[in-house]
Amino acid sequence: MVSKASPIRHGSIKNKIVSSDLEEERKKCDFDQSQLTHFLHGGKAGYDQYKEWIRVMESDPILRTDQTWYEMTREEQMNDLFKKTKRIYELDRTTYFHNYEISYY
């Protein structure tokens, strides 16, 4: 008797779909993922700071990134990055640039 395996669902970043084989592997995880996350970010405080940066970037229309990045030319990508860097500086230079003063404006 041949068992019919369920078809593999392919992942998609654009559609926020995780592939079925990756989901199966994640279920086999035998360690505390939050401990690893905190370790990789230098502790819980580092991870909390990281989450705050992500929240800021996702909530700001200039800092938000989407799939159009991959359709840009190199020059367009660089201009986009300069705009994002300027926006981060405008939001909070003391946090992100350690109070660095730009002298060429």
Residue 11 forms part of a structural domain: no
What does the pLDDT read at residue 39? 92
CA dist 92 and 8 (Å) reads: 45
Q: Is residue 42 part of a domain?
A: yes
Number of structural domains found in the chain: 1
User: The domain containing residue 57 runs over which residues?
Assistant: 33-96
pLDDT at 105: 47
Mean pLDDT to the nearest integer, 4-32: 85
Over 60: is that where the pLDDT of 10 sits? yes
Q: Is position 4 within any domain?
A: no
* Burial category of 25 from C-beta neighbours within 10 Å (exposed 0-12, middle 13-18, buried 19 and up): exposed
Q: 17 in the Ramachandran plot: left (φ > 0), alpha (ψ -120 to 50) or beta?
A: beta
E-assigned strand segments in 1-105:
none
Is the pLDDT at 92 greater than 70? The verdict is: yes
Domain annotation covers residue 25? no
105 domain-assigned: no
Residue 64 inside a domain? The answer is yes
The answer to the question of residue 83 being in a domain is: yes
Q: What is the pLDDT of residue 88?
A: 86
Q: pLDDT by residue (tens digit) across 20-73?
A: 988 998 899 999 999 999 999 989 998 998 899 899 889 999 998 888 888 999
pLDDT band at 78 (very low <50, low <70, confident <90, very high): very high
Higher pLDDT, 39 or 15: 39
Q: Has residue 71 been placed in a domain?
A: yes
Q: Is pLDDT at 101 greater than 80 in this prediction?
A: no
Residue 16, phi-psi category: left (phi > 0), alpha (psi -120 to 50), beta (remainder): left
Q: How many CB atoms lie within 10 A of CB 5?
A: 6
